[in-house]
Amino acid sequence: MAIGLACVVGCSSGPRLPRGTGSVQSAQYGATAADDPQAALIGRDIISTGGTAADAAVAMYFTMAVTAPANASLGGGGLCLVFSAADKKVETLDFLPRSPGTVPPTADRPSAVPGNPRGFFALHARFGRMRWSELLAPAENLARFGTPVSRQLDRDLAPMAPALAGDPEFRRIFGRADGNGLVGDGDTVVQLDLATTIARLRTETPSEFYTGQSAGQLVAATLRAGGSLDRADLAAMLPSWNAPIVVTANDRKAYFPSVPPLAGGIEGQMWAILAGDDRFADASPAERVHMLAEAAIRAFAAADRGETVATGDKQALVNAPHIAGLFTDYSPRRRTAPTSSTVSPRLETPAGAGLIAVDGGGNAVACTVTMNNLFGTGRIAPGTGIVLAADPGTGGRGSAMLAPMIATDDKTRYFYYASTAAGGVAAPQALMNVAARTLLADQPLAEAMAYPRLVALPETERVLVEESMNGADTAALQQAGHVPVPTRLLGQVNAIFCPSGVPDRPDLCVPATDKRGFGVALTTR
């Protein structure tokens, strides 16, 4: 994957370039949504005191590095979609955790190169207003003085506890005071090593983390934890700014990351199918569940054929002739015949977390972060407090299914909608289920978020449906030849919807988080 020159902003040890100066007012309107409650609260406070959406996103991420280590440790990485109200432009910021140059024979748990510190520094360098040190201080305090284990962290820890307890550092930091296993819901965790690491990032910026004395210490600690990392890997980890995939329909533009190559392309193609020619809007309620399944089947089939990865110009994935070809044999009454998949079995880690921030000036940031596996390698680099991300590769470890979405009004060019999703193969379809019902079918966001979801794949007639799906939708799928298979939960979504756009009518904005998880959505008013 090519690294763009634009990533130099905030990535090098040289002078900082001027920050973005998008329209922001003190005590302004703002909205945040995140998979972690503390992150949403701190992000809202940052906007309330005059910070931009980018400032809020930085503070939210570093908070999650403390409170949500299963998915958001400093050892991981991610990507963001960023809308600048001043530039009327959306860009993709890629800082995904990548494979190291070499894996030493001593590495029994190969680890990825961390991207989060430099990634969020690059975001702040271009679009931040507040001081970097101010944005990291809340996270440092949470780590130093302790924070209660959230319900989400408790849910993440429970199935992993026996494996995680095998690591001495995990036991030392996350073990109960009485020695009876790992912490749980309501217990307080103090992370002094992590507080020290964040303090260095706060005072010395990420340059020290990637190229200075701290880099050498992190490499040594990673190797002691059975991971794989060297100083050249750290120095070479540079975020990149890229053009997103854009789908224009119904006087709106929807944006999806051009990286990673799978999720952004899948979501873009699904959206082009659903939004094009008002297909989803004009469909009956019964046909809509079938159409959601068929859009997913076609987009995943294209990915299986290698189109999503092989196409150099990602925008070509969603051009009108290509979408027409994907949808040419669609029947409102019959399922497409199953195809043989090149991905068998289809494994994708459900791990990942999302955050969204919108400020009163109309700037917006939507990010997903990952450890390439729940708790990454399952080990902490001694003395750093950093949970190491897993080396992306086989067995579903990676970020292929993580891609946020941003939409703008094509006439006013105002921010309109943002969303993130996690949940492995379910993530792109969960995101599309909510976005289509909200933006195309005019359902209230809370109703669309709660609506039972489905996941369809090209290689099977079976469609996973949430157990709460109503009888009419289940019958509609069956009549079209799908075989509904009930399951508990499909995906975890965050969204912020501003029906009249921002900055025009921020009072109408509605943030929402998924009740399938434990996140929080907030506004400043």
Chain-wide mean pLDDT for the chain? 91
Looking at the structure, do residues 116 and 189 belong to the same domain, yes or no?
Answer: yes
pLDDT of residue 170: 97
| Residue 282 · residue 288 · CB < 8 Å | no
Looking at the structure, do residues 109 and 216 belong to the same domain, yes or no?
Answer: yes
The tokens describing 525, both together, are 């008013």
Looking at the structure, do residues 218 and 187 belong to the same domain, yes or no?
Answer: yes
Residue 78 belongs to what H/E stretch? strand 77-84
Residue 55 in domain = yes
- Nearest 5°: phi and psi at 116? -60, -50
- Nearest 5°: phi and psi at 148? -65, 145
Section 337-344 average pLDDT = 61
- What is d(CA 309, CA 12) in angstroms, rounded to the nearest whole number? 30
* DSSP code at position 482: -
Choose the final residue of a domain: 368, 387, 406. Answer: 387
- Integer angstrom CA distances of residue 356 from 359, 369, 386, 486, 495: 10, 12, 24, 30, 7
Residue 108 in domain = yes
Looking at the structure, do residues 430 and 357 belong to the same domain, yes or no?
Answer: no
* DSSP code at position 371: -
Where are the strands (E) in 131-266, listed by range?
147-148, 188-189, 240-242, 245-249, 252-256
Picking from 413, 496, 357, 363, the residue whose alpha carbon sits closest to that of residue 85 is 363
Residue 513 in domain = no
pLDDT of residue 339: 75
Looking at the structure, do residues 303 and 217 belong to the same domain, yes or no?
Answer: no
Residue 2 in domain = no
Domain that holds residue 282: 260-349+421-494
Residue 179 in domain = yes
Buried b (16+ CB within 10 A) or exposed e, 109-145: bbbbbbbbbbbbbbbbbbbbbbebebbbbbbbebbbe
pLDDT of residue 8: 27
Residue 386 belongs to what H/E stretch? strand 386-387
Q: Which residues pair with residue 456 across a beta bridge?
A: 463
End-to-end CA gap in the chain = 42
Q: Give the three-class secondary structure for 175.
A: strand
Picking from 355, 353, 257, the residue whose alpha carbon sits closest to that of residue 59 is 355
For 392-404, how does the pLDDT look when each residue is reduced to its tens digit (9 = 90+)? 975 546 677 888 9
The tokens describing 367, both together, are 């990010």
For 253-301, how does the pLDDT look when each residue is reduced to its tens digit (9 = 90+)? 999 999 876 889 999 999 999 999 999 999 999 999 999 999 999 999 9
pLDDT of residue 311: 63
Give the orientation angle of helix 53-67 with respect to helix 192-211, to 10 degrees: 120
Looking at the structure, do residues 337 and 428 belong to the same domain, yes or no?
Answer: yes
Residue 140 in domain = yes
pLDDT of residue 26: 38
Looking at the structure, do residues 438 and 456 belong to the same domain, yes or no?
Answer: yes
Looking at the structure, do residues 366 and 451 belong to the same domain, yes or no?
Answer: no
Looking at the structure, do residues 481 and 447 belong to the same domain, yes or no?
Answer: yes
Q: Give the three-class secondary structure for 89.
A: strand
Residue 331 in domain = yes
Looking at the structure, do residues 270 and 336 belong to the same domain, yes or no?
Answer: yes
pLDDT of residue 393: 75
pLDDT of residue 397: 66
Output Rg (C-alpha) for the chain, integer angstroms.
Answer: 22
Flag whether pLDDT at 347 surpasses 70: no
| Residue 398 · residue 331 · CB < 8 Å | no
In the chain, how many domains are there?
2
Looking at the structure, do residues 238 and 342 belong to the same domain, yes or no?
Answer: no
* DSSP code at position 396: T
Looking at the structure, do residues 199 and 60 belong to the same domain, yes or no?
Answer: yes
pLDDT of residue 129: 97
Residue 508 in domain = no
What is the percentage of the chain residues whose pLDDT exceeds 70? 91
Section 510-525 average pLDDT = 95
For 471-497, how does the pLDDT look when each residue is reduced to its tens digit (9 = 90+)? 999 999 999 999 999 999 999 999 999
